[in-house]
Amino acid sequence: MGWGASLSKGLHMITKEVLTCEICQEPIHPHPISGWAQGHNAWPLHEGRCCDSCNNLVIAERISRIANSDVLNWGSYGSEAHHALPS
């Protein structure tokens, strides 16, 4: 786990090291056009990095979390704040 934190701090550094997708365990290949080889942030499915195809799953998970929980939490915060206002 320790190397993950240092990796995110050093993402601006160019590295030849091939990363491994934390979700499917396949190597993350450099993007054919941009050369970007750092993959994608795998949160919330995993800590660390993931490949292009798994990134679709990550994005779907983020969307479902926003739809299912975060918006509801924000909504309850909003209603509490609303009730606290003098009417």
Rounded CA gap, 54 and 71, in Å? Answer: 24
Cβ proximity to Zn ion: between 21 and 48 the closer is 21
Rounded CA gap, 62 and 41, in Å? Answer: 11
Q: Are 54 and 21 in contact (CB under 8 A)?
A: yes
The nearest distance, CB 56 to Zn ion, in angstroms, is 10
The nearest distance, CB 57 to Zn ion, in angstroms, is 8
Under the rule (CB under 5 A), what is the footprint of Zn ion? Answer: 21, 23-24, 51, 54
What is residue 65's DSSP assignment? H
The nearest distance, CB 25 to Zn ion, in angstroms, is 7
Cβ proximity to Zn ion: between 18 and 67 the closer is 18
